[in-house]
Amino acid sequence: MKNIMIINGPNLNLLGLREPEIYGSETMEDCMLRLRRTYTDYELEYFQSNHEGDIIDEIHRCAFPDAECAGIILNAGAYTHTSLAIADAIAAVNVPVIEVHISNVAAREAIRHTSLIAPVCRGVIAGFGLDSYRLGIEALLNL
């Protein structure tokens, strides 16, 4: 069975608690339960870290043949706008990556309007709440 890896970056461990007016009141556990019920032909793995290097290591891990990874859904959080290292990791692996965001980053602070990872991702989905992850999986499966 092929895996789809969902990777979340900093502060996304606080979903359901953090700024519910922006991120909603659902937890990532709620989201993963719904996704696993929907995508039964795939093993959906989940990884979250507040540390840039851990995210890079997980992206690299997905590239190894034994990972059997069909692709990565990546919400790099604030690292989206600051991490050339994560962009380099995405560019280095032969695994499709879809960038997702819960909020519409284009409608937020100016610093959030630029993504360093978008140019090396297959596409970007933003602004649909936790449904952005489902839309990311759909995009990945349609590649």
Q: Say what the pTM is.
A: 0.94
pLDDT higher for 48 or 19?
Answer: 48
Q: Is 113 exposed, middle or buried (0-12, 13-18, 19+ CB in 10 A)?
A: exposed
pLDDT digits over 49-99, tens only? 999 999 999 999 999 988 899 999 999 999 999 999 999 999 999 999 999
pLDDT single digits (tens) 49-61: 999 999 999 999 9
Q: Does the annotation count 39 as an active-site position?
A: no
Using CA atoms, how far residue 135 sits from 9, 35, 99, 124, in Å, is: 18, 10, 11, 10
Q: Is 79 a catalytic residue?
A: no
Catalytic residue (choose from 60, 101, 113, 133)? 101
> Would you state the pLDDT for residue 1?
55
Q: What percent of the chain is predicted at pLDDT more than 70?
A: 99
Residue 21 has pLDDT above 70, yes or no: yes
- Of the candidates 23, 42, 79, 133, the residue annotated as catalytic is 23
How many percent of the chain have pLDDT more than 90? 78
Q: Which residue has the tokens 């284009």?
A: 106
Count of beta carbons in the 10 Å neighbourhood of residue 131: 15
Tokens of 59: 């992206």
Tokens of 75: 């919400």
- Kindly report the CA angle at 56 between 50 and 57, in degrees rounded to 5? 100
48 DSSP assignment? E
Distance, CA of 85 to chain centre: 16
pLDDT at position 116: 97
